[in-house]
């Protein structure tokens, strides 16, 4: 038989819109991520628990604050610089090749190292020793600790004292700053300030002590090296002098000279000095000889009286002047007298005498130039011979100086090392103990006036945050582990089945009586359920429908009757079968006897027609459970049951089965395999401890077609108080408010 939609057009459209709205809402819920309104609804639903946890946390914070002993924190500020202030120029422990500039990474590592030293156990030990804190009862009282027992080991007392110091001291250095803050906390403000100031002072003293110890170690080390260098220098000098004496070398070397005697350096021996002097003299003699030779060639190859050396001679110049004067006078006399005139003869004789004198002087000049040339040549040859002789002597001396030069270099190296070590030792000795510290105190600690702990507002804030976190954890665990269905949306969210309808709670003792009022919320809820079932399968309303629940008394029988009645009012022929043969209830609701029913048909004692019971509702036929058999499961699992359902589905449009609960029984799971769809009835606000999920798991395990869940006995007033901001269930009270 084909299913036909006999709904009126308007009601059919409304039912379709309800189904579409449900599918849309379901799709939106799957696509939606974090829902703020759901979170607010959860918070509102658990407001009492959240408030209790937060108030409890605040109360604990107040009590702990009142019971906690006040503690005071004193602070000292120190400045940490990279470079040490110089008292005698260069710091004693600074490397001579170090640069004043450091990279940002080096500076950061340096400052971090200083902070590690500041918070170190060694510095705490210095503070404890300076203030005599080990075993001091006043210190233990200021730290809020028990005084040490008499006779306790010194080692244990030191450990306890250092632990108290380190646990209550804090050294902090803000980023991009060189001002470090040293804080110490104690119950005695005076003790806190005293320890903070002492900590800063010991920090500076420890820094200076490390520098002094480093300088003392350097001095001791250099002193030992200096003695070794001095011994090596003395030995090398003795070896050098001994070899020079044995080799017959007379050296004029300078300790700072290399001793090679090469060109361009100071001579380091008598032979080399003589060679250099004679070589220079030979070069000069050669130059003189060249000049003399040039002058001689000039005189010998040209007219004697035209040579520059003759013309520039003073005697020649005076004679030529005198001859010119005589020649002038002679010319004058010749113009007046004859050649044989006495005055002419006299002047001619004078002129001849002057010419003779000029020739004699010119010859003497030429002879002088020749002599100078010969002397220059002789001198050159003599000096060159001497240079040749000295070269041989110098080469022989150089052969003997090879070993000498090696010894001289060794002596020079030892001398340089000794002088450097001596200079460094003097610097260390002068600067030891007077290097200024690169750490200085900026602000000293004063006795604090107000306690630093406990802070009531801070503790309340921490307690509030802790309470919020704890409440969130508790609510989350409670929400995740709670399988109780309180609102319709829990069916899809917690159980993973579609929501078919919501049936509000009724005040009637007999719920079926309220179904007579079609406008009551109870009836409206089942109308909505019926409309959802109209589109629960691909072909519409299922032919066979099983109504069950996880536990008894969840409204299963009432819902079965209401579903069957609602479908019958649509003009469909419906048969309602009470298959709960353990606790049947349909015959009581109809007011009929239970002598012939389902069990009678399954045992083949009667025919189908005999077991059908007409009802006052048009198109609705009922079938009671019949006499209770000893083994209902055997009957329901027989082939007769399948044949019966087949015959009834041929006779009626819809077959509705009122099934027993799923949990603990095999009836409902067996019947679910014989029907087209299963409707799960779920009572609202009922604790189940996992029974509902177990029931659904059993049905899914046998591949039952679960159409969805129906939430029954839903109290809208409770849901409104807790979930109305999110779900908006005020519409369930619309009719009551309308009546009012």
- Burial degree of 99 (CB within 10 A; 0-12, 13-18, 19+): exposed
pLDDT tier for residue 130 given thresholds of 50, 70 and 90: very high
Tell me whether residue 207 is in a domain. Answer: no
Tell me whether residue 670 is in a domain. Answer: yes
Looking at the fold, whether 508 and 656 belong to one and the same domain comes out as yes
Q: What is the mean pLDDT of residues 618-639?
A: 90
User: Is the pTM for the entire model greater than 0.85?
Assistant: no
Tell me whether residue 739 is in a domain. Answer: no
Looking at the fold, whether 688 and 558 belong to one and the same domain comes out as yes
**How much is the pLDDT for 575?**
95
Contacts of 440 by beta carbon, 8 Å cutoff, 6+ apart? 78, 79, 204
Looking at the fold, whether 390 and 537 belong to one and the same domain comes out as no
Q: What is the mean pLDDT of residues 701-716?
A: 88
- 3-state class (DSSP) for residue 78: strand
The answer to which of 263-267, 369-373, 503-507 has the lowest mean pLDDT is 263-267
In our burial notation (b when 16+ CB lie closer than 10 A, e otherwise), range 25-55 reads eeeeeeeeeeeeebeebbeebbeeebeebbe
What percentage of residues in the chain have a pLDDT greater than 90? 26
Is the pLDDT at 95 greater than 60, yes or no?
no
The answer to which of 103-107, 139-143, 162-166 has the lowest mean pLDDT is 103-107
| Count of helix runs (H) and strand runs (E) in the chain | 26, 12
- Burial degree of 648 (CB within 10 A; 0-12, 13-18, 19+): buried
**How much is the pLDDT for 234?**
86
Tell me whether residue 149 is in a domain. Answer: no
Looking at the fold, whether 518 and 658 belong to one and the same domain comes out as yes
Angle at 486 between CA 483 and CA 490, to 5 degrees: 65
Euclidean distance between CA atoms 169 and 193, whole angstroms? 11
Q: Pick from 282, 280, 261, 260: which is nearest to 272 by CA?
A: 261
Mean pLDDT, rounded, of the chain? 80
**How much is the pLDDT for 132?**
93
**How much is the pLDDT for 11?**
39
Q: Pick from 571, 519, 590: which is nearest to 739 by CA?
A: 519
| 87 vs 511 pLDDT, higher one | 511
Host domain of residue 411: 270-431
| 227 vs 189 pLDDT, higher one | 189
Sign of CA pseudo-dihedral 195, 197, 199, 205: negative
Sign of CA pseudo-dihedral 699, 700, 704, 705: positive
Is the pLDDT at 214 greater than 80, yes or no?
no
Residues in the chain: 740
Instruction: Count the neighbouring beta carbons within 10 Å of the beta carbon of residue 551.
Output: 18
Euclidean distance between CA atoms 77 and 75, whole angstroms? 7
Euclidean distance between CA atoms 516 and 616, whole angstroms? 12
pLDDT tens figures, 550-591: 888 888 888 999 999 999 999 999 999 999 988 898 888 888
**How much is the pLDDT for 689?**
61
What percentage of residues in the chain have a pLDDT greater than 70? 80
Is the pLDDT at 519 greater than 60, yes or no?
yes
Tell me whether residue 374 is in a domain. Answer: yes
pLDDT tier for residue 362 given thresholds of 50, 70 and 90: confident
Angle at 633 between CA 630 and CA 635, to 5 degrees: 80
Looking at the fold, whether 495 and 602 belong to one and the same domain comes out as yes
| 312 vs 445 pLDDT, higher one | 445
**How much is the pLDDT for 335?**
81
Q: What is the mean pLDDT of residues 373-377?
A: 82
pLDDT tens figures, 645-696: 999 999 999 999 999 998 878 888 999 999 999 999 998 887 666 778 888 8
| 39 vs 181 pLDDT, higher one | 181
Euclidean distance between CA atoms 576 and 611, whole angstroms? 12
Looking at the fold, whether 394 and 543 belong to one and the same domain comes out as no
Looking at the fold, whether 415 and 501 belong to one and the same domain comes out as no
- How is residue 603 annotated by DSSP? T
Q: What is the mean pLDDT of residues 219-244?
A: 81
Q: What is the mean pLDDT of residues 116-134?
A: 93
Answer yes or no: are the C-beta atoms of 587 and 594 closer than 8 Å: yes
Tokens of 352: 């001849």
**How much is the pLDDT for 433?**
52
Euclidean distance between CA atoms 148 and 134, whole angstroms? 10
**How much is the pLDDT for 510?**
62
Tell me whether residue 689 is in a domain. Answer: yes
DSSP string, 36-57: HHHHHHHHHHTHHHHHHHHHHH
Is the pLDDT at 628 greater than 80, yes or no?
yes
Looking at the fold, whether 427 and 487 belong to one and the same domain comes out as no
Tokens of 49: 């628990």
- How is residue 126 annotated by DSSP? H
Euclidean distance between CA atoms 669 and 405, whole angstroms? 116
Number of folded domains that form the chain: 2
Q: Pick from 560, 564, 565: which is nearest to 580 by CA?
A: 560
Q: E strand or H helix at 617, and its extent? A: none
Is the pLDDT at 92 greater than 50, yes or no?
no
Whether residue 214 is preceded by a cis peptide bond, meaning omega within 30 degrees of 0, is: no
pLDDT tier for residue 302 given thresholds of 50, 70 and 90: low
Measured CA to CA in angstroms, residue 246 lies from 259, 391, 403 at distances of 18, 22, 12
Tell me whether residue 166 is in a domain. Answer: no
- Choose the final residue of a domain: 390, 409, 431: 431
pLDDT tier for residue 74 given thresholds of 50, 70 and 90: very high
Is the pLDDT at 403 greater than 80, yes or no?
no
**How much is the pLDDT for 323?**
79
- Burial degree of 650 (CB within 10 A; 0-12, 13-18, 19+): exposed
Most confident of 146-155, 156-165, 317-326, 356-365: 156-165
Tokens of 535: 């589109």
List strands edge to edge, sheet with 499-504. Answer: 499-504, 706-714, 677-683, 544-549, 654-658, 574-578, 620-623, 613-614
**How much is the pLDDT for 579?**
92
Q: Pick from 566, 560, 564, 569: which is nearest to 679 by CA?
A: 560
Answer yes or no: are the C-beta atoms of 368 and 296 closer than 8 Å: no
**How much is the pLDDT for 515?**
76
Measured CA to CA in angstroms, residue 666 lies from 100, 550, 598, 632 at distances of 92, 12, 17, 10
Q: Pick from 650, 645, 640, 628: which is nearest to 545 by CA?
A: 645
CA dihedral 213, 215, 218, 222 (to 10 degrees): -130
Euclidean distance between CA atoms 113 and 206, whole angstroms? 14
pLDDT tier for residue 714 given thresholds of 50, 70 and 90: confident
Euclidean distance between CA atoms 485 and 156, whole angstroms? 62
pLDDT tier for residue 9 given thresholds of 50, 70 and 90: very low
**How much is the pLDDT for 84?**
53
Q: Pick from 682, 715, 686, 684: which is nearest to 504 by CA?
A: 715
pLDDT tens figures, 423-455: 877 777 666 555 667 888 999 999 998 888 888
Euclidean distance between CA atoms 683 and 645, whole angstroms? 28
Euclidean distance between CA atoms 452 and 53, whole angstroms? 28
* Residue 186: strand pairing partners: 72
List the end-to-end C-alpha distance of the chain, in Å, as a whole number: 47
**How much is the pLDDT for 644?**
92
Helical axes 104-118 vs 121-131, angle rounded to 10°: 40
Euclidean distance between CA atoms 315 and 323, whole angstroms? 12
The answer to which of 17-21, 70-74, 123-127, 187-191 has the lowest mean pLDDT is 17-21
Looking at the fold, whether 413 and 525 belong to one and the same domain comes out as no
pLDDT tens figures, 236-262: 888 878 877 777 676 665 544 444 444
Tell me whether residue 204 is in a domain. Answer: no
Phi, psi of 352 (to 5 degrees): -65, -40
pLDDT tens figures, 520-536: 888 888 888 898 898 88
**How much is the pLDDT for 267?**
59
**How much is the pLDDT for 29?**
43
- How is residue 732 annotated by DSSP? G
Looking at the fold, whether 295 and 369 belong to one and the same domain comes out as yes
Is the pLDDT at 737 greater than 60, yes or no?
no
Looking at the fold, whether 499 and 624 belong to one and the same domain comes out as yes
Euclidean distance between CA atoms 526 and 523, whole angstroms? 5
Euclidean distance between CA atoms 599 and 152, whole angstroms? 91
- CATH code (residue 690): 3.40.50.300
Euclidean distance between CA atoms 243 and 249, whole angstroms? 8
CA dihedral 359, 360, 365, 369 (to 10 degrees): 100
Q: What is the CA radius of gyration of the chain?
A: 65
Answer yes or no: are the C-beta atoms of 598 and 625 closer than 8 Å: yes
Looking at the fold, whether 383 and 527 belong to one and the same domain comes out as no
């Amino acid at each position: 038989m084909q299913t036909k939609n006999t709904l009126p057009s308007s009601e059919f459209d409304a039912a379709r819109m309800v189904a579409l709205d449900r599918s849309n809402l379901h799709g939106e819920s799957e696509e939606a991520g974090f829902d703020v309104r759901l979170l607010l609804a959860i918070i509102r639903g658990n407001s009492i628990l959240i408030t209790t946890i937060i108030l409890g946390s605040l109360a604990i914070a107040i009590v702990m604050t009142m019971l906690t002993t006040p503690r005071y924190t004193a602070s000292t500020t120190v400045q940490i610089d990279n470079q040490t202030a110089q008292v005698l120029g260069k710091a004693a422990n600074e490397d001579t090749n170090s640069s004043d500039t450091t990279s940002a990474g080096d500076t950061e590592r340096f400052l971090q190292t200083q902070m590690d030293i500041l918070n170190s156990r060694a510095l705490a030990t210095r503070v404890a020793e300076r203030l005599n804190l080990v075993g001091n009862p006043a210190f233990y009282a200021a730290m809020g600790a028990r005084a040490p027992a008499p006779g306790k080991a010194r080692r244990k007392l030191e450990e306890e004292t250092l632990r108290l110091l380190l646990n209550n001291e804090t050294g902090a250095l803000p980023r991009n700053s060189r001002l470090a803050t040293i804080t110490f906390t104690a119950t005695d403000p005076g003790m806190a300030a005293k320890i903070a100031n002492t900590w800063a002072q010991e920090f500076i003293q420890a820094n200076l002590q490390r520098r002094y110890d480093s300088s003392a170690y350097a001095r001791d080390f250099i002193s030992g090296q200096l003695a070794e260098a001095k011994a090596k220098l003395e030995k090398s000098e003795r070896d050098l002098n001994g070899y020079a004496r044995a080799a017959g070398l007379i050296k004029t070397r300078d300790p700072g000279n290399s001793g090679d005697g090469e060109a361009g350096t100071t001579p380091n021996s008598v032979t080399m000095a003589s060679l250099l002097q004679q070589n220079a003299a030979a070069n000069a003699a050669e130059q003189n000889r060249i000049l003399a030779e040039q002058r001689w060639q000039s005189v010998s190859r040209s007219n004697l009286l035209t040579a520059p050396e003759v013309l520039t001679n003073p005697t020649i110049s005076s004679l030529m002047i005198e001859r010119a004067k005589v020649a002038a006078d002679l010319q004058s006399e010749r113009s007046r007298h004859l050649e044989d005139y006495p005055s002419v003869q006299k002047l001619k004789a004078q002129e001849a005498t002057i010419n003779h004198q000029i020739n004699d002087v010119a010859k003497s000049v030429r002879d002088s130039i020749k002599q100078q040339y010969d002397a220059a040549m002789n001198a050159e040859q003599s000096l060159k011979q001497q240079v040749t002789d000295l070269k041989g002597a110098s080469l022989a001396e150089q052969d003997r100086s090879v070993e000498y030069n090696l010894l001289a270099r060794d002596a020079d190296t030892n001398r340089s090392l000794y002088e450097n070590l001596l200079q460094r030792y003097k610097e260390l000795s002068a600067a030891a103990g007077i290097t200024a510290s690169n750490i200085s105190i900026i602000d000293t600690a004063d006795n604090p006036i107000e306690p630093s702990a406990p802070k009531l507002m801070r503790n309340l804030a921490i307690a509030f945050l802790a309470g919020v976190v704890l409440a969130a954890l508790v609510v989350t665990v409670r929400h995740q582990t709670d399988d109780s269905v309180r609102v319709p949306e829990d069916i899809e969210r917690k159980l993973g089945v579609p929501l078919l309808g919501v049936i509000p709670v009724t005040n009637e003792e007999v719920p079926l009586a309220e179904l007579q009022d079609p406008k009551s919320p109870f009836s409206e809820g089942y109308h909505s359920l019926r409309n959802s079932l109209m589109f629960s399968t691909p072909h519409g309303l299922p032919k066979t429908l099983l109504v069950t629940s996880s536990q008894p008394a969840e409204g299963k029988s009432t819902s079965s009757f209401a579903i069957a009645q609602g479908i019958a009012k649509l003009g469909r022929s419906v048969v309602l079968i009470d298959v709960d043969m353990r606790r049947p209830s349909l015959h009581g609701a109809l007011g009929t006897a239970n002598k012939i029913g389902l069990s009678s048909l399954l045992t083949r004692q009667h025919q189908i027609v005999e077991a059908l019971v007409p009802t006052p509702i048009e198109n609705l036929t009922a079938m009671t459970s019949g006499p209770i058999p000893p083994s209902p499961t055997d009957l329901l699992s027989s082939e007769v049951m399948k044949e019966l359902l087949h015959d009834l589905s041929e006779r009626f449009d819809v077959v509705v089965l009122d099934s027993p609960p799923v949990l603990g029984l095999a009836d409902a799971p067996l019947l679910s395999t014989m029907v087209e769809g299963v409707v799960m009835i779920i009572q609202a606000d009922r604790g189940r401890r996992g029974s509902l999920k177990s029931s659904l798991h059993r049905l899914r395990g046998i591949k039952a077609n679960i159409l969805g869940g129906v939430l029954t006995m839903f109290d809208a007033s409770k849901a409104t108080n807790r979930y109305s901001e999110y779900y908006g269930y005020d519409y369930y009270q619309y009719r009551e408010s309308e009546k009012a």
